[in-house]
């Protein structure tokens, strides 16, 4: 059950309207790594968690907070748009808000479609997509994905933080970067705790039987580039993070294997193929007849 309290987690009031900056903020709301994504991602991971307890409660707790961040950023964008002038100085532009929006660098649809309101889109107006979220059912895989989402999100907030002098906007973004710092650390801590408790481990999925793997190559760094320094890293020598082996370095890829012989596709797909022989045509006709029966 969700209950909405009509308060914000933190202040979300700009000092002045700014439709251009509102468009930039749409990225941290409705972009791939925006607040809508992480709120939905953590929520679906919690719903899909197969193990009640602290890990599911962690997902629900941060997911609910992220819904509050959606509201904070949306409130800020709406205020940046509501009284922002759409025109410039020339009378011809002032008389056409759509032209003014284009010239001014604002989001045209914010004026035409949204009525100077916030929408679930990124900074280019692309609608938010559910394909952005990761919810696999494997907590270690999901927690690592969550840490990445927080890193990417914090990076984008940091980039637009220095593109405004508005004290109200900077104050709110400063708060959000601090919460991103907390969440990055919490997801990494949760991933480490899963491993320490023996619930999950790397490689994911850890419960895949070893005999299913081609173990000869599982810890090799095979250099498929002419970069000469790749073998200097810890990923090419020394113990592996999963504690089960040692990395090795293969300077050049081994010889490949021949391509398999091309197959003869079903003639009913009408792909371009060598001219079929009479037997192939007869076989296809029999197959059609059998399917119809």
Per-residue pLDDT at 95: 62
Distance (Å, whole) CA 101 – CA 98: 5
For the stretch 170-216, pLDDT in tens is 999 999 999 999 999 999 999 999 999 999 999 999 888 877 777 88
CA distances from 143 to 62, 111, 155, 199 (A): 12, 38, 18, 13
Asked, colleague to colleague, whether 19-196 and 210-284 share their fold, the answer is no
For the stretch 99-119, pLDDT in tens is 565 556 778 788 788 888 899
Instruction: List the Cα angle 14/113/161 in 5-degree steps.
Output: 30
Domain at 19-196: CATH code: 1.20.1260.10
Q: Which two tokens stand for residue 240?
A: 């592996």
SS3 212: helix
Domain at 210-284: CATH code: 3.30.1530.10
CA distances from 208 to 116, 203, 234, 264, 275 (A): 52, 9, 25, 35, 46
Nearest CA among 217, 193, 34 for reference residue 124: 34
**Domain ranges (residues) in the chain:** 19-196, 210-284
Global pTM value: 0.85
Per-residue pLDDT at 102: 57
Q: Strands (DSSP E) along the chain, which ranges?
A: 220-222, 238-239, 246-250
Q: Is 16 left (phi over 0), alpha (psi -120 to 50) or beta?
A: beta
Per-residue pLDDT at 104: 65
Per-residue pLDDT at 88: 47
Nearest CA among 127, 131, 130, 119 for reference residue 25: 119
SS3 5: coil
Per-residue pLDDT at 276: 65
- List, for the chain, all residue ranges whose pLDDT scores fall below the cut of 50: 88-89, 92
Tell me if 219 sits within 8 A of 247, measured CB to CB: yes
């Amino acid at each position: 059950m969700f209950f909405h309290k009509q308060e914000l987690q933190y202040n979300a009031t700009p000092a002045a309207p700014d439709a251009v900056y509102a468009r930039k903020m749409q990225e941290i709301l409705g972009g791939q790594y925006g607040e809508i994504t992480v709120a939905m991602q953590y929520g679906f991971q919690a719903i899909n968690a197969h193990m009640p307890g602290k890990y599911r409660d962690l997902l629900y707790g941060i997911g609910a907070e992220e819904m509050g961040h959606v509201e904070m950023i949306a409130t800020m964008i709406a205020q940046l748009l509501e009284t922002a002038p759409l025109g410039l100085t020339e009378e011809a532009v002032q008389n056409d808000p759509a032209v003014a929006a284009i010239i001014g660098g604002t989001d045209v649809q914010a004026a035409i479609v949204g009525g100077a309101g916030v929408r679930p889109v990124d900074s280019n107006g692309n609608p938010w997509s559910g394909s952005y979220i990761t919810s696999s059912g494997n907590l270690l895989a999901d927690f690592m994905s969550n840490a990445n989402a927080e890193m990417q999100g914090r990076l984008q907030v940091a980039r637009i933080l220095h593109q405004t002098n508005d004290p109200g906007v900077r104050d709110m973004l400063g708060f959000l970067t601090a919460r991103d710092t907390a969440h990055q650390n919490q997801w990494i801590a949760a991933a480490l705790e899963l491993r320490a408790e023996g619930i999950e481990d790397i490689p994911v999925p850890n419960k895949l039987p070893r005999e299913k793997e081609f173990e000869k190559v599982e810890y090799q760094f095979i250099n498929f580039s002419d970069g000469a320094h790749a073998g200097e890293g810890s990923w090419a020598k020394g113990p592996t993070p999963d504690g089960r082996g040692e990395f090795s370095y293969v300077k050049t890829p081994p010889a490949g294997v021949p391509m398999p012989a091309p197959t003869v596709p079903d003639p009913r797909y009408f792909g371009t193929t060598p001219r079929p022989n009479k037997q192939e045509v007869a076989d296809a006709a029999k197959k059609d007849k059998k399917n119809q029966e």
